[in-house]
Amino acid sequence: MSVLAEPPSGPGLVPRVMTVLSAFDENHTAVNLSDVARRAGLPLSTTHRVLGEFERGQFVARAADGSFAVGEELSRLGRRAPEHGGGQDEDPVPLTAPAFSTEHCEALTV
């Protein structure tokens, strides 16, 4: 009969990831590794590992000075939030203009 190891103490993966993401806000758009770790309350090694994964997925971008900022993929996801149009990556295409100019009804199905 095997004995299962105790789960590691402290916050799990998801809470750690959320605290790293929370280090970026309107007042801290570019943050260095030490500041992210301090703001997240995590060890430097954990913060470095999480940010490295985020960088590979383009959720954060690293500047020439080594600081991190919100990346392209995280920005894209943010634009999908309801307060930013809820799923609109770009300005919606007005479908009424063709109907007025051609006098034909236009329909779009997805």
Tell me what the mean pLDDT of segment 78-107 comes to: 60
Q: pLDDT (tens digit, 9 = 90+) per residue, 25-71? A: 889 889 999 999 999 999 999 999 999 999 999 999 999 999 999 99
- Rg of the Cα trace of the chain? 21
Tokens of 103: 């006098």
Spatial distance between the Cα atoms of 29 and 96, rounded to a whole number of angstroms: 39
pLDDT band of residue 2 (cuts 50, 70, 90) is very low
Tokens of 10: 């402290």
Spatial distance between the Cα atoms of 86 and 88, rounded to a whole number of angstroms: 6
Q: What is the topology classification, in CATH, of domain 13-87? A: Arc Repressor Mutant, subunit A (1.10.10)
For residue 42, the model assigns a pLDDT of: 94
Q: Domains of the chain: which residue ranges?
A: 13-87
Say which residue, 23 or 101, is predicted with more confidence. Answer: 23
- pTM of the model as a whole: 0.65
Single-letter residue type at 95? L
Tokens of 91: 């300005």
For residue 1, the model assigns a pLDDT of: 43
